[in-house]
Amino acid sequence: MLRGSAGVGLLFGAIWFTAGCFGGGGGASGSGGTPGGTGTGGAGAAMVMGDPKSYAQTAGATFPFPQGHASSICNFPVYDTDDVYQAYQNWKTKFFDGTKVVRPENGNDTVSEGIGYGMLMAVFVNDQTTFDALWAYAKMHNDGHGLMTWCVPAGSGSCSGGGAATDGDEDMAYALLMASKQWPTQASYATGATALINAILQYEVDGSNVLKPGDNFGGAGEMNPSYLAPSYYRAFAKATGNTKWMSVVETSYSIIAAVSGQYGLVPNWATSSGMGIAGPTSDGSGPNFGYDACRTPFRIAMDYCLNGEPLAKMYAALIAAFYASKSSATTTAGIMDGYTPAGMNPDGTLGNYAAGMAFLGPAGVAAMAAGNDTLRDITYKTVWADTTQGAMKLSGVFSYFHASWGVLSMLAMTGNFWDMTQ
């Protein structure tokens, strides 16, 4: 990670001190980013880093929560780690049943992306018990290629279909790599990560280095831009020694350039040459920026914040500028839940409702990379309210997908989602 001195006052337990950049060993030491100047997240005018001893978590970890790893190039909003921890606990209470992540809105089914989201959260919040339960569940539902079957149906309204989904697989693989550093005494995390990374490369990357959407379909003619996670692929290359992953990084940025358009509103589904397509959807949303594509700003912007990739910043600047044009310093109400690539309201219901956390959280991460402090602060404040305050009790606000991306984005925007292998 690119780190620099932050020069920010933090409250660590009851002790006030000025934060610099704490590298390497982790422990109880963390580092804060630079505040945006306005109090968000209920934290007042100063960041608050809670004492790790005040949070229930796994003993003996390399990086006890919170860490607050600073970046020399991406500044954080004002935050309080009590809020981040509470957001995770709220998510866990509603969606983790002790063995798996469920989607209450879909008959309590389980999808591999949810397992991946949960594993990412758990490793960064230092919750080894939850992490191990989720990874055990994934292994129980192997699709025969060393990947998790994407859909495990339950009640009425559940998912259906077989095969693996690449986004869930890569999130699990990255989480396992982080676990190998977070809890290094358990060697199975590193071996599990290597096996999963190799399976992804074998079954979910095509011959032209395009990330496929699954192990049984897609490629250059049908792919999902929101699955592209170049910061992961750098870590995968380092962990396995396989430089092909760096070719996947290069191809991913070629695709992002082709699909970004004027505003960064990438399609949900596209060809590698940049044409929006229907993909496997049946509602006409495939060529538009919707509930798949909304994740793209997070995955791309993190490659700038963690690795300084200028192409990532270019994309983040596009989408952040668009979101900023639809919001203000006091409200995100003008940001909608879908757009055409030209920034218009699509046909059908997509784009007819105010955006939830799956849009706003990644928007905030992009704003952080783009240096747009106003958008960064108002999106963080909105996500904070939706994950920890009265807003989360409203119907649809704290649903599985929105809540997952809300918590992941809070972790990223507070320096608690980083590459532990660096």
Please, what is the Cα angle at 367 between 211 and 73, to 5 degrees? 90
Task: List the structure tokens of 372.
Answer: 């747009």
Please confirm, yes or no, whether 337 is among the known catalytic residues: no
Active-site residue among 80, 83, 113, 215? 113
Helix axes 373-388, 400-412, angle to 10 degrees: 130
Has 373 been annotated as catalytic? no
Pairing of strands 8-12, 47-49: parallel
Pairing of β 15-19 and β 8-12: antiparallel
Alpha-carbon span 25 to 374, nearest angstrom = 33
| 74, 39 Cβ separation under 8 angstroms | no
Residue 316 near residue 300 (C-beta atoms within 8 A): yes
Residues 105-108: contacts with CB under 8 Å, at least 24 apart: 105/157, 105/399, 105/400, 106/157, 106/158, 106/159, 106/400, 107/153, 107/154, 107/155, 107/156, 107/157, 107/158, 108/154, 108/155, 108/158
Which residue of the set 80, 82, 109, 167 is catalytic?
A: 167
Neighbours of 331 (CB within 10 A): 12
Decide: 84 and 411 in contact? Cβ < 8 Å.
yes
State the catalytic residues. 113, 167
